[in-house]
Amino acid sequence: MDESVFYTPSTATDAAELSFLASIRSNKSHVQFRQCAANAASITGTGQGHRLFVACPEKALIQVYLWGKESPEQKMAVPEELTSLLWVHIFGAGFLVGGGKSGRLYVWELASGYLLSAKEAHYQEVSCLEVSHDGQVLVSGGKDSRVLIWRLADLIQFSSDPLPKPIHVLTNHSLPITSIALTKGISNDIKLFTSSLDGEVRHYNVSNGELLTTFIFGEPVNALAVDPAQRYLYAGLSSGTIRLVPLFIVNHKNQLESNTGCGKLVSATSADDPESQFIITSHQDSPVTCLQVSADGGLLVSADSAGKVFVNDIVSRQVARQLRDCSGPISTLRLLINDLERVEPSDLSTKASTPRILPNLKRSLISDTEISKHDINIPAAGTPEGDIGSLASDNEQLKEQFDLRGFCNQVRKEHVVYQLNTEEEAAVDQSVQQQQQDTDENVSTQQYASQLKEMTKAYNELKRVHQDLYSEHLKLLDRD
């Protein structure tokens, strides 16, 4: 297993407008993409068949990149400039959610390109989007300082009656929302963290929209990340500092207790940490724009408005690695887990086809005829692309080890057929042999033959006499 980070600038000063995907644990750089300055970008994964979707700045356009190709493969026109973009994967089906400059929320089905929903969600542009790990809960944050929690299944229903509504509208922030983080868990347990330029991070229960905690940072919070086991909250501030907030603390009774919940206010300003124990200062004065925590909770990857990306060691608060700079402020940063042992399907198949072009994203809402057809594109089996959407976990072509025990058992079962029959045959042979032996002991076959001959002769003689007598008898009867 390795972990990689994908990052892209919002605007780039160089002509190439490069964005990168590199390992955070080694010096390996996987791929780079050109002309990739983005308001927002969403990558589906690492490896063949995966794609990168990029919402272009100042254009109503989405660029689609294929893994392994530096230049965009497809350009798709969308209804308006998108300020946030998210690829969502629900049970093998891909959807693309975009937040527009006007505050609208768009949901496309990637298999068909249909625009399933164009919902007027926010009063100003949608600044960030996040989806729960299972793809069911969508959270949108806007510059109107509101946070909306949606059930994604509502947004993609064909029957638009009743019109989809957010399950919760959260209006506690007073300035634009900058970042959203969702924790993992069953539907009842998912928690939401939102950060805003008002200098606060709010913590909610997603199932009922209840405000659990407010963290006060005293300066605009640009980015946010939560430890995978919910032990720490990390906030990237406009001053360039990254602040760590423990979500569990030791209380006055020397008991470990939760630092959150029940509407608690937690102050995490610089005054609360005079010895600067809970800060990471790798970005110096550049405002932090993105934060992500590694899968083991040990590394914090951060990016800033100067285009720098650092991998920070959380416990020591030190920079573990500095990645290649981008030429503009980083707008998107995503961590991806890649399976190093994965055998690319193209290595297995002799007919590795190039991934199919995605159907163009529609600019108008799905019509009734389209609903009744609902044409979906299904990639060929055995191709890298087909494997991504495939619900089957095993690659059919990777054979498991030969099961000798099972095979021997099968052989034993089949062998019974021959054993039984051989015994029967043997039994038949034996009885024949027995008879032959008997004959040998008594009289020879020739003797029998001669006896038979004599007897036949005698019989024939007797028969002749009988027939003569019988005809004589008939004659007598006739006379009478």
* Amino acid residing at 156: I
Residue 263 near other proteins by CB under 8 A: yes
Least spacing, CB of residue 220 vs other proteins, in Å:
20
Site string for other proteins, 355-394 (x = CB under 8 A): -x--------------xxxxxxxxxxxxx--x--x-x---
Under the binding rule (CB under 8 A), the answer on residue 320 touching other proteins is yes
In the list 80, 154, 219, 325, the residue contacting other proteins (rule: CB under 8 A) is 154
What is the per-residue binding string for other proteins in 184-213, x denoting contact by CB under 8 A? --xxx------------------x------
With beta carbons less than 8 A apart as the criterion, state whether 178 and 187 touch: no
Nearer to other proteins, 186 or 426 (CB): 186
Residue 380 sits at the vertex; the CA angle it makes with 374 and 386, to the nearest 5 degrees, is 90
Q: Which of 59, 101, 184, 321 binds other proteins (CB under 8 A)?
A: 321
Query: Is the distance from CB of 11 to CB of 329 less than 8 angstroms?
Result: yes
Residue 291 binds to other proteins (criterion: CB under 8 A):
no
Binding mask 405-444 for other proteins (x = CB under 8 A): --xx--xx-xx-xx--xx----------------------
- Which stretch in 23-31, 66-74, 193-201, 457-465 sits in contact with other proteins by CB under 8 A? 23-31
Backbone angles phi, psi at 435, to 5 degrees: -60, -45
Candidates 10-18, 29-37, 54-62, 267-275; binding stretch for other proteins (CB under 8 A): 267-275
Q: Which of 232, 303, 328, 384 binds other proteins (CB under 8 A)?
A: 232
> Within 85-124, which residues bind other proteins (CB under 8 A)?
89-95, 109, 111, 116
Alpha helix (H) residue ranges in 14-132: none
Identify whether the C-beta of residue 80 lies closer than 8 Å to the C-beta of residue 56: no
Residue position matching structure tokens 């951060």: 302
- Label residues 149-171 b or e (16+ Cβ within 10 Å = b): bbebebbbeeeeeeebebbbebe
The Cα 422–Cα 119 span in angstroms is 78
Binds other proteins (CB under 8 A): choice among 15, 275, 340, 432: 275
In angstroms, the Cα distances linking 319 to 30, 232, 401 are: 21, 18, 45
Q: How far is the CB of 74 from other proteins (least distance, A)?
A: 15
Instruction: With contacts defined by CB under 8 A, name the span among 30-38, 119-127, 241-249, 460-468 that binds other proteins.
Output: 241-249
315 binds other proteins (CB under 8 A): yes
Min dist CB 104 to other proteins, Å, is: 19
Q: Site for other proteins (CB under 8 A): which residue of 34, 59, 317, 363?
A: 317
Q: Tell me the CB-side half-sphere exposure of residue 156, using CA atoms within 13 A.
A: 23
Token pair listed for 122: 């926010």
Query: Closest distance between other proteins and the C-beta of residue 334, in Å?
Result: 19
Question: If binding is defined by CB under 8 A, does position 400 make contact with other proteins?
Answer: no
Exposed/middle/buried for 60, CB within 10 Å: 0-12, 13-18, 19+?
Answer: middle
Is 350 a binding residue for other proteins by CB under 8 A? The answer is yes
In the complex, least distance from residue 135 CB atom to other proteins, rounded to whole angstroms: 7
Q: Which helix (H) or strand (E) holds 279?
A: strand 279-280
Residue 174 binding other proteins, by CB under 8 A: no
CA 138 from chain center: how many Å?
Answer: 17
Q: CB nearer to other proteins: give 3 or 125.
A: 3
Interaction between residue 138 and other proteins (CB under 8 A): no
Strand partners, 266: 215
Q: In the set 156, 201, 242, 333, which binds other proteins (CB under 8 A)?
A: 156
Judged by CB under 8 A, the residue of 45, 209, 218, 297 near other proteins is: 297
Q: Is 167 in the site for other proteins (CB under 8 A)?
A: yes
Only segment of 25-33, 192-200, 426-434, 471-479 that touches other proteins (CB under 8 A): 25-33
Determine the size of the site formed for other proteins (CB under 8 A): 108
| Nearest-5° Cα angle at 276, 270 to 277 | 125
Give 341-353 as a DSSP string.
Answer: TPPPHHHH-TT-P
Alpha-carbon dihedral of residues 191, 174, 155, 384, nearest 10 degrees?
-60
227 alpha-carbon distance from chain centroid: 21
Residue 21's closest CA among 69, 62, 55, 63? 69
Backbone φ and ψ for 334, nearest 5 degrees, come out as -130, 140
Residues 446-465 that bind other proteins (CB under 8 A): none
Cβ 136 to other proteins shortest distance, Å = 6
At 150, phi and psi to the nearest 5? Answer: -120, 155
Buried b (16+ CB within 10 A) or exposed e, 441-474: eeeeeeeeeeeeeeeeeeeeeeeeeeeeeeeeee
Tell me if 254 contacts other proteins by CB under 8 A.
yes
Q: Does 313 bind other proteins (CB under 8 A)?
A: yes
In this chain, which stretch among 59-67, 149-157, 196-204, 444-452 interacts with other proteins, using CB under 8 A? 149-157
If one asks whether residue 249 binds other proteins (CB under 8 A), the answer comes out as yes
